[in-house]
Amino acid sequence: MRNTKAQLELDEAILALIERKRQAAADPELGAAVEELILSAQVRDIESEILESPGAIEPWLIRLRRPPEC
Residue 65 vs residue 42, higher pLDDT: 42
From 35, 36, 8, select the one nearest 21 (Cα to Cα). 35
From 44, 42, 43, 47, select the one nearest 57 (Cα to Cα). 47
| Residue at 41 is within a domain | yes
| Residue at 67 is within a domain | no
| Residue at 23 is within a domain | yes
C-alpha to C-alpha distance for 27 and 19, rounded to whole angstroms: 10
- Assess contact for 34 and 14: CB atoms under 8 A: yes
C-alpha to C-alpha distance for 8 and 68, rounded to whole angstroms: 25
| Residue at 70 is within a domain | no
Q: What is the DSSP letter of 63?
A: -
Domain boundaries, position 30? 4-60
pLDDT at residue 54 is higher than 70: yes
pLDDT at residue 40 is higher than 90: yes
| Residue at 15 is within a domain | yes
Q: What is the DSSP letter of 65?
A: P
